[in-house]
A and B are shown apart, each in its own frame.
Chain A
Amino acid sequence: MNGIHDLGGLHGFGKVEVEQDEPVFHERWEGRVFGMCLTFGGRRGPNVDAARHRSERLDPVSYFQNGYFGRWLATFEMMLKEEDVLAEGELEDYMNGAAVQKVADGDAPPPQRRPLRGIDAVREVDHPPRYGEGQAIITRNHQPAGHTRLPAYARCRRGVIKKVHPAMVFADTIAHEQGENPQYVYSVEFDGAELWGDTAEPGTVLRLDLFESYLEAA
């Protein structure tokens, strides 16, 4: 998705502000939101890629305005609406003193589904990887309206495969509940100049972990 989340290489964001000895959570609400997201008793949406895609679907102002945990809150509320836990305006009504409709007895929340992440993404597939270490590739001009993990700055760029990772569930389809479609993932190295042209800093290279279908032989 060509969204504001795809920040790599954008200009205009200024200096990286570093806070010394910062706490894990700066405000109480940040910890509460984080904890609620990890312990919510109902279905938490399909998987972690769907969760990432919710944050991509925030409008650009909402994406930035309350920082990282603001995105967690906004996407948690989005998930609650998509899973029919909260109706539009219901939280606002509750804040204004409306009574809560209790869950009826025997209508307990469904068992928790652990969000898919990390090692859980690896799958066995019955075919060998299409590309090997040392092979030159070019990335496809892949820009779907939905979720993808190919950043815009790395489209149509030449790189070299440095490592073949195991096959993993394909982010682009699983985020939309269109199946796992596991694919090999490759650690691809790009020269700074290939990505940034004559503005590249000398002596810099970049590594991305890319799904097989993002790539073509160069």
Chain B
Amino acid sequence: MKTIHEHGTPEISLRVEALESLLEERGLINPVAVDRVIQHFEQDVGPLNGAKAVARAWIDPDFKSRLLQDAAAAISELGITVGDNVQVIENTPKEHNVVVCSLCSCYPWSVLGLPPTWYKSPAYRARVVREPRKVLAEMGVDLADDVTIRVWDSSAEIRYMILPQRPAGSESLSEEELIPLIMRDAMIGVANVTLPDKG
């Protein structure tokens, strides 16, 4: 699908500029409010929210059980506002979970920010439900044959986030040291959390 304009044509920029200015003249759009939304999603909301919850779950078993039971309540303990009906699913050595929305692009905005382009792509939406093992391998996650893969297709108003496995060898790391290791893709289920290469 490389012939499509994944990020638009030059004409589209002009069209959007005109639309905003027309709606502003009508009093229906305030550009300052638009700026604020952009800033909010570029700076304030992002996968760091989810990473904080994952790191806390790794070091605090009681928090982990609360997170798996009622994610919104547990995450709000960390001072994060959860606007979605979020459910957290745990990856284990025998079960790997991965999230998609095949019908549109539903995603847990309040804990992971806006979704990456690949998550919204037709290739991911079409393929991960049918051949998750192959898609995960292409994205760098090779799973043994005896690991069950469970694909969560977000077809209603529940939003899924994955609690990845804590990497072996991270036992001595503090919560603050763990947080930067927990990347967005691991909380969607298309990556594992790894320790940085030593050297």
Footprint of B on A, CB under 8 Å? 5-11, 13-19, 22-36, 38-42, 52, 55, 64-70, 73, 76-77, 85-86, 90-91, 94-95, 100, 102-103, 108-109, 117-119, 121-122, 149-151, 153, 165, 168, 171, 185, 187, 189, 195-196, 199-211
* Other 16 A-B pairs with CB < 8 A, given A31-B38, A121-B157: A16-B138, A24-B46, A32-B38, A35-B37, A41-B29, A64-B1, A68-B120, A69-B7, A70-B5, A86-B22, A100-B22, A117-B84, A121-B156, A204-B149, A204-B151, A209-B154
Interface bin, chain B? 35 or more
- Name the B residues within 8 Å of A8 (CB-CB): 102-103, 125-126, 129-130, 153
Chain A residue at smallest Cβ distance from B135: A16
With A41-B30, A151-B103, A168-B157 already in contact, the answer to whether A205 and B12 are too (CB < 8 A) is no
* Total contacts A-B at CB 8 Å: 266
Contacts of A171 in B (CB 8 A): 156
A41 to B29, CA, bound (A): 6
Q: Are A149 and B103 in contact (CB under 8 A)?
A: yes
5 contacts between A and B (CB under 8 A): A15-B138, A66-B6, A103-B27, A185-B156, A201-B132
- The distance from the CB of A161 to the nearest CB of chain B, in whole angstroms, is 14
Give bound CA distance, A205 to B151, whole Å: 6
Which of A14, A121, A122 has the most C-beta atoms of chain B within 10 angstroms of its own C-beta?
A14
Of the candidates A5, A16, A25, which one forms a contact with B127 in the assembled complex, judged by CB atoms under 8 Å apart?
A16
